[in-house]
Amino acid sequence: MEAPIRAGSIVVLREGNAAFITLRRPPLNVMDTGMMRELGDALENLNDAQFLIFAGDGSRGFSAGAEVADHTPDRVADMLGAFHRVFRLLWRGNWISIAVVHGVCLGGGCELATFCDFVLAEESAQFGQPEIKLGCFPPVALVTLPRLAGPRAAADLILTGRTIAASEARSLGLVTRVVKDGEAAAAAKSLLAELRALSPIVLRLTRRALLHDYNFDFEGALDSTEQFYLGHLMQTTDAAEGIRAFLEKRAPVWKDC
C-alpha cells in the first residue's frame, strides 16, 4: 500500500490498481470549489488505476453536498465548472467506481455517490437532493436520476427535495447494496476482490457499453443543463434569495412568479 497523498480536502490512498479517495472536510465533508478542483486534479493523475473507491471521512456522513456560499451569482459559474469537470472525467475514464456511503449523502454528495458504478450504503444512510429548498436545482441529478430511477421518482426527489433512507434509495435503483452500519468499508473491499478476479479489459469495455446504452449523451445533456442553470435559473430573484436566506439562517421570501 502506497503512502496517502493529501491534497487539502481529500486524501488519495493507492492500493495496487485501486485508488481510495476520501472526502475530508469536517464535519460533513461539504464540497467547496477548492475541494472540487482537488478531486478533478486527483482524477487526472489516476489514469493508471482501474478502480476508484469514494468515501467520506468522519462519523457524520459521506457528504452533505456543495458549499452553499459557492452558489452565489459571483461564484456559481466557477463552482459548477469545477464540479462538473469531476463528472466529465468519471464519464470519460476507464475506472470502475464504488461509493461507500454512511450517514448523510445529500446534494452534490448524492450526485457524486449515485454517479458511481456501485453504491454501497449503510442502513442508516440518508440520500436526497434538497437544492429546490434553496431556490435552485441539481444539474447532474437532472441528467442522471431519470435514467437511474425513472422520470416519476426523479421528479419526486428533485421537486420535493425530500430525504430518503438507504432502503428506499436501493428500491429506486440509486443504491447497489445496503449493509449493516459499520460494514460498508468491508463490503467495498469484498466487492473490490470480486472485481479484481475478472478481466480488466472486459470490465472496462462492458462498463463503456453500459454507459453508452441507448446513445445516452451525458456530456451533451450536462452542458445544456449547466447553461440553463446559469442562463435562466441564476437570473431569477428567487435563486439569489434562497441562497441568501440559507446563509442568513432565515426562511426565504419567494418573489418570482
227-236: which pairs have CB atoms within 8 A and are 24 or more residues apart?
229/80, 229/136, 229/137, 229/139, 230/76, 230/77, 230/80, 233/136, 233/137, 234/73, 234/76, 234/136, 236/135
HSE (side-chain half, CA atoms, 13 Å) at 144: 22
Per-residue cell: 139: 444539474
Could you tell me if 95 and 46 are in contact, meaning their C-beta atoms sit under 8 angstroms apart?
A: yes
- Whether 44 is a known active-site residue: answer no
Integer Cα distance of 195 and 206 in angstroms: 13
Q: Taking the alpha carbons of 49, 51, 52, 53 in that order, is the dihedral positive or negative?
A: negative
Integer Cα distance of 119 and 96 in angstroms: 11
Q: Which of 38, 67, 122, 131 is catalytic?
A: 131
Q: Which residues 6+ apart lie within 8 Å of 155 measured at CB?
A: none
- Whether 111 is a known active-site residue: answer yes
Coil/strand/helix, residue 57:
coil
Residue 37 backbone phi and psi in degrees, to 5? -65, -40
Q: Which of 38, 67, 111, 226 is catalytic?
A: 111
Could you tell me if 76 and 247 are in contact, meaning their C-beta atoms sit under 8 angstroms apart?
A: no
- Residues annotated as catalytic are 111, 131
